[in-house]
Amino acid sequence: MKNTFLFLILLGLTFQTFAQSEPNIDQLADRVESKVIEWRRDIHQNPELSNREFRTQKLIAAHLKSLGIEVQTDIAHTGVKGVLRGGKPGPVVALRADMDGLPVKERVEIPFASKVKSTYLGKEVGVMHACGHDTHVAILMGVAEILSDIRDQLKGTIVFIFQPAEEGAPPGEEGGAKLMIKEGVLENPTVDVAFGLHISSGLEVGKIRYKPGGAMAAADRFVIKVKGQQAHGSRPWSGVDPIVIGSQIVMGLQTIISRQTELTKEAAVITVGKFTAGVRNNIIPEEAELVGTIRTLDMEMQDMIHEKIRKTATLIAEAGGATAEVDIQIGYPVTYNNPDLTRKMLPTLFETAGEDNVLVSLPITGAEDFSFYAQKVPGLFFFLGGMEKDQDALTAPGHHTPDFYVSEDGLKLGVRSLCNLALDYMEANSK
């Protein structure tokens, strides 16, 4: 009887020691939450445009260095790479946050609203974190603090990627994920897997959305130049009107989507966002220019739509006696969540947020340059709820608008999610 009692005591002490050795991410996230909110407010109040995130870079680098994390700042202009080597061997996990704001003047009435002005394409503009990248940076800074506290227990290495210019580099410059990869962010050490998140103003706080496979669209840009023959506006028959022909091309492009694309397979969009022609009311100009975007979620459909755009524009112009030059510029690829990785990490998201709060998303025709990382290594990118619980999703201000708003109540779930994804992946894949 005494031996049995002694055995139970020893067994209890063993379990207690084991439990104490396991990191309690929830408690650590509680401890860092106020800092995350403070960082977020500071970054929100001091937004910077793409490739100009100098202040944000200094803030991040100083924080990572204070945690004893290896820091590299001479990457992709203003990017920051942090390397945290765990106490045990294992895989290399990349966690990514984007840093840049947008040329949008803030209208939200909050104490830390942005009053910053800058120059964009030669014009003075307001600058605002109108897509939530301030929250992404703050969340990953919190993750870095937590994981550095338990580095001795980490079974592998964490690479923190703080990336500039997700919204696109200024004209004539390189930037964003593509440049970070080009300059070696996924090397030394070689990254095995990448995780990222994006806050959503239309998803309730406490919830997560994900989609296996193609989650966000490829984004390509097109320019169509229609060349006609200039004439007096009173005698259109003496020339070739590129404005009329350009208008016919705009309508023809829409039939590519509505009549020639298998939309039950995946969504696709063609939008003409800019139509420029002419200088005077009574002069038919010689040239019209159409500029737009193509969004696709399937690579075969992407190729087909590109070819259809060229053919449609060229033949409509030819039928009207004009010519059309079509230039399609490849942009961000499809943001692809590796299905096997997504399936394996779902239990982590369920455990972190509660299974009822983890929802499968429909495809999104917005684009994300996390897609470049996911082309190189298996990736999982998910959406984090930032909408107040009493808000109607249909009336929630959208991203990239002056009224964009997200609740700070959702930030702690973002911290917990990235911590748990990294820890669980390393646990399952360490030798």
Q: Which residues are catalytic?
A: 332, 408
Q: Is the dihedral of CA 406, 119, 138, 133 positive or negative?
A: positive
Classify residue 248 by burial, with Cβ atoms within 10 Å: 0-12, 13-18, 19+. middle
| 104 φ, ψ (degrees, to nearest 5) | -130, 135
Q: How many CB atoms lie within 10 A of CB 22?
A: 10
Rg of the Cα trace of the chain?
25
How far from 46 is each of 108, 119, 293, 397, CA to CA, in Å?
Answer: 15, 15, 30, 21
271 exposed, middle or buried (CB, 10 Å; 0-12, 13-18, 19+)?
middle
Calpha distance 201→184 (Å, rounded): 33
**71/199 Cα distance (integer angstroms):** 26
Please provide residue 309's backbone torsions phi and psi, each rounded to the nearest 5 degrees. Answer: -60, -45
| Side-chain half-sphere exposure of 63, counting CA atoms within 13 A | 24
What are the structure tokens assigned to 336, written together? 């692809």
Q: How far apart are CA 387 and CA 392, in angstroms?
A: 9
Contact assessment for residue 94 and residue 421, using Cβ atoms and an 8 Å cutoff:
no
